[in-house]
A and B are shown apart, each in its own frame.
Chain A
Amino acid sequence: MLPRTYFLAFLVLLALLPHVLYPVFLMQLLCMALFACAFNLLLGYTGLLSFGHAAFLGGSAFIAGQAAKVWELPIELSILAGTLTGTLLGVGFGLIAIRKQGIYFAMITLALAQMVFFYALKAPFTGGEDGLQSIPRSNLFGIIDLTHEVTMYYFILALFLAGFLIIFRIIHSPFGQILKSIRENEDRAISLGYRVDRYKLAAFIISAALSGLAGSMKAMVSQVVSLSDVHWSMSGTVVLMTLIGGTGTLFGPIVGAAIIVSMEHYLGEYLGSWVTIIMGVIFVICVLTFRQGVVGELEQRLIKRKLPFQSQDSTS
């Protein structure tokens, strides 16, 4: 359940933020937040750890950038092209990886994503080490000028909310319930007659498609796509964002993305490559002591206080 007041407060906050903070930073945050939410649909609600999500983010970012820059498509079609790329990659990865579970699944998605990375490294259109630069921002629907950063922010916010609501709907649908049952006990879900593989594949493709949307948005926001977007450390970053915010919670990935992106943004210039080390330390601490994440812990405390004798469901 999503308490309506919280959600409204969240909306108002998002609408007001660009007048307080730097809009480009916020847009990048929203892109990563959507990416983390899409990833969480898979890890938190289906119980599958993909270590290859960078391929969906980066692959679709490259195609979206290519569409806008070389094919000169309008921005909405470029984003669509990127999202489709993410979806298709998701179908391909999913069909191969879904036969395996747990660690195997993580390793296979990682290897598949590395293939996409090497392709991006070698393929001429990605610009190799330089990446794809100076991607133009065309007018939205041909009329709205997006070169103004605050206007662009509202466009990105609308896309983010659309993605977020899709995930919200999926989680609270019968389909989402089946995904959760697979996470909790796959064998029982099979014995109840569900074709588990199909549900997992569907969740994987949806997650890949939304990651593709996030990647395309990112390409339009920063107007640059670099190889680091497809590199496997990006897959690690999204795991960290989800974990630190709270796996299997609705708002957790957003909080996690906010923490990590702010850290990179504000501390990056002072600390340089220490940021990677700090991220590693946070990773280890999270895994050892803080597995429910910020939102997970908060929810548990609140629920404990309200309903001391009832079972706690951190997913609601």
Chain B
Amino acid sequence: MAELLGMPPQLFFGQLLLGLINGAFYAMLSLGLAIIFGMLQIVNFAHGATYMVGAFGAWMLMNYLGIGFWPALILTPLIVALLGVILERLVLKHLYDLDHLYGMLATFGLALIIEGLFRQAYGISGLPYEIPTQLQGGTNLGFMFLPNYRAFVVLMSIILCFGTWYLIERTKMGMYLRATTENRELVRAFGIKVPRLITATFALGVGLAAFAGVMAAPIYQVNPLMGNNLIIVIFAVVVIGGMGSILGATLAGYLVGLVEGLTKAYYPEASSTVVFILMIIVLIVRPSGLFGKEQ
């Protein structure tokens, strides 16, 4: 196996792994975005900023309080989810009866504020974050070298996506959620506290983004602008997967990551634009996205 599809296998698998890692993050982020959109009908422009706050949360816990990676992996999403609850109660709550576009604009403003504040405090150069000791090093798979932490990220992402899918499709709480997405008034009439459900959903989506942020901290540097361009890729992923489809958002996340990785191996110049080309093709062939329902 000296050559694989016209290139050394190490390079090929290396790029594929890189794509898979990116895909794992895309999947976690687009999942949260899809859940929030399904429930609040708001495209959360601040999702990238939330992811960044997650990474910073881990960094701050480490550097100011000496709290390591594992507790931070639980603590940070909880803290960020709490902040999300406050934001939802203070700002987003007032936008539900308006045109959806206002929700997008308000969260855009929030993203500017959050990223601006962190940039003001920490500058734009990245801050390093150590890989937890248990996951340092890697495994030689024979055809390639697999860093343990990256394998962990992919595994966690799959568990998390599956867990969220299970929560929404198979549990009673998820049933309420889906019912509320379908018909809010009717669910209210059955005595379920819809506003609380909405707040919880937003907290869940935001928490997912923060979780992704914590996991991203050791791989990418912790940087106030780390979510800035990412959010647009995530938008494209959600369009490809089909708006409001949880399964679609997850699978499209991995798909986009892998396609990006392969493009980087074969034609590096196009690697940052291939997502958008994929989006255009999907829009022409299947306007409602790969897994979206026809409206």
Task: Write the residues of chain A forming the contact surface with B, with a CB cutoff of 8 angstroms.
Answer: 49, 96, 99-100, 102-104, 106-108, 110-112, 114-115, 118-119, 121-122, 232, 236, 239, 243, 273-274, 276-277, 279-284, 286-288, 291
B142 → A minimal CB distance (Å): 36
Given contacts A96-B280, A99-B283, contact A236 B243 (CB under 8 A): no
Segment at the A interface, from B149-157, B185-193, B199-207, B234-242: B234-242
How distant is the Cα of A49 from the Cα of B43 in the complex, in angstroms? 13
Taking a contact as CB atoms under 8 Å apart, the answer to whether A283 and B239 are in contact is no
Q: A236-B108, A276-B115, A280-B110 are in contact. List 13 more A-B contacts (CB 8 A).
A: A100-B283, A102-B101, A107-B235, A111-B275, A239-B108, A274-B116, A276-B116, A279-B109, A281-B109, A284-B106, A284-B113, A287-B102, A291-B98
Residue B279, interface by CB 8 Å: yes
Taking a contact as CB atoms under 8 Å apart, the answer to whether A291 and B102 are in contact is yes
Number of A-B residue pairs with CB-CB distance less than 8 Å in the complex they form: 110
B42 → A minimal CB distance (Å): 9
A281 → B minimal CB distance (Å): 6
Taking a contact as CB atoms under 8 Å apart, the answer to whether A277 and B273 are in contact is no
| 21 pairs, A vs B, C-beta closer than 8 Å | A99-B287, A100-B287, A103-B43, A103-B243, A106-B104, A111-B235, A111-B236, A114-B236, A115-B273, A115-B276, A122-B269, A243-B105, A273-B116, A273-B119, A274-B116, A276-B116, A277-B117, A277-B120, A280-B112, A281-B113, A284-B106
How distant is the Cα of A257 from the Cα of B229 in the complex, in angstroms? 25
Kindly list the 9 A-B residue pairs having the minimum CB-CB distance in the complex, ordered from nearest.
A283-B109, A280-B112, A280-B113, A277-B116, A284-B109, A276-B116, A287-B106, A115-B276, A107-B235
Taking a contact as CB atoms under 8 Å apart, the answer to whether A288 and B112 are in contact is no
How distant is the Cα of A103 from the Cα of B107 in the complex, in angstroms? 13
Taking a contact as CB atoms under 8 Å apart, the answer to whether B112 and A106 are in contact is no
Taking a contact as CB atoms under 8 Å apart, the answer to whether A287 and B239 are in contact is no
Is chain A's interface secondary structure helix, strand, loop, or mixed overall? helix
Given contacts A96-B283, A111-B239, A284-B91, contact A276 B101 (CB under 8 A): no
Residue B136, interface by CB 8 Å: no
Taking a contact as CB atoms under 8 Å apart, the answer to whether B273 and A283 are in contact is no
Give the one of A118, A274, A279 with max B CB within 10 A.
A118
- Tell me which residues across on chain A come within 8 A of B106, comparing CB atoms: 283-284, 287-288
Partner of B284 from the list A96, A102, A103 (CB cut-off 8 Å) is A96
Taking a contact as CB atoms under 8 Å apart, the answer to whether B239 and A108 are in contact is yes
How distant is the Cα of A287 from the Cα of B113 in the complex, in angstroms? 14
How distant is the Cα of A147 from the Cα of B272 in the complex, in angstroms? 40
- Tell me which residues across on chain A come within 8 A of B99, comparing CB atoms: 102
Taking a contact as CB atoms under 8 Å apart, the answer to whether B239 and A104 are in contact is yes
- Tell me which residues across on chain B come within 8 A of A274, comparing CB atoms: 116, 120
Residue of A nearest to B236 (CB): A111
Partner of B243 from the list A104, A115, A122 (CB cut-off 8 Å) is A104
A182 → B minimal CB distance (Å): 15
Residue of B nearest to A243 (CB): B105
- Tell me which residues across on chain B come within 8 A of A99, comparing CB atoms: 283, 287
How distant is the Cα of A29 from the Cα of B99 in the complex, in angstroms? 30
Residue B72, interface by CB 8 Å: no
Residue B251, interface by CB 8 Å: no
B131 → A minimal CB distance (Å): 30
How distant is the Cα of A114 from the Cα of B283 in the complex, in angstroms? 16
Taking a contact as CB atoms under 8 Å apart, the answer to whether B112 and A279 are in contact is yes
A239 → B minimal CB distance (Å): 6
